[in-house]
Amino acid sequence: MHGGAGTRLRPLTHTGPKQLIPVANKPISQYVLEDMLESDIKEIAIVLGNTYPEKVEEYYGDGSRFNAKITYVHQGEPKGIAHSVGLYKEFVGNSPFVVYLGDKLIKGGIKKFVALFSNSDFDAMILLCEVKEPQRFGVAKFTRTISWLGL
């Protein structure tokens, strides 16, 4: 997902999306892409917001230089993660899928989580990170019983 304006990262985001800000000489979202490829996910849809979507398409192209197939879905105005996921409906169909935010890095990658999900009867899996002040980031609230994997 390449949405959001990245206003808290200004002036770095005055000329491009936050997901293309380089970390160790590579855009953050490229680490996300490589993480998915390492998990054997080769068909990738990138949701684009209004913040320089052409720069994302220019950088990633059709995905062939990364040995992936990239499709772009234009969200336009950011309306949240659930809205973005809804935009993937045609791309995903009835297949299992991963939603990976383009400005997040998951320590150790997602390969073990993709394998765990693939070998389970789970309907869904959400990865969360414990933080000292969750009210600064958002508090997850579940209405159904969940299993804690403790990974």
pTM higher than 0.75: yes
| Cis check: omega of the bond before 78, within 30 degrees of 0 | no
Confidence (pLDDT) at 30: 93
Confidence (pLDDT) at 35: 93
Question: Confidence band (pLDDT; 50, 70, 90) for 84?
Answer: confident
Q: Give 95-115 pLDDT, tens digit per residue.
A: 888 888 877 888 889 999 999
Domains and CATH numbers, the chain: 7-119 (3.90.550.10)
Closest C-alpha to 71, from 46, 37, 40, 100: 46
Question: Confidence band (pLDDT; 50, 70, 90) for 15?
Answer: low
3-state SS assignment for residue 149: coil
Closest C-alpha to 24, from 101, 105, 99: 105
Residue 85 CA to residue 97 CA, distance in Å, equals 10
Whole-number mean pLDDT of the chain? 82
Confidence (pLDDT) at 129: 80
Residue 103 CA to residue 19 CA, distance in Å, equals 5
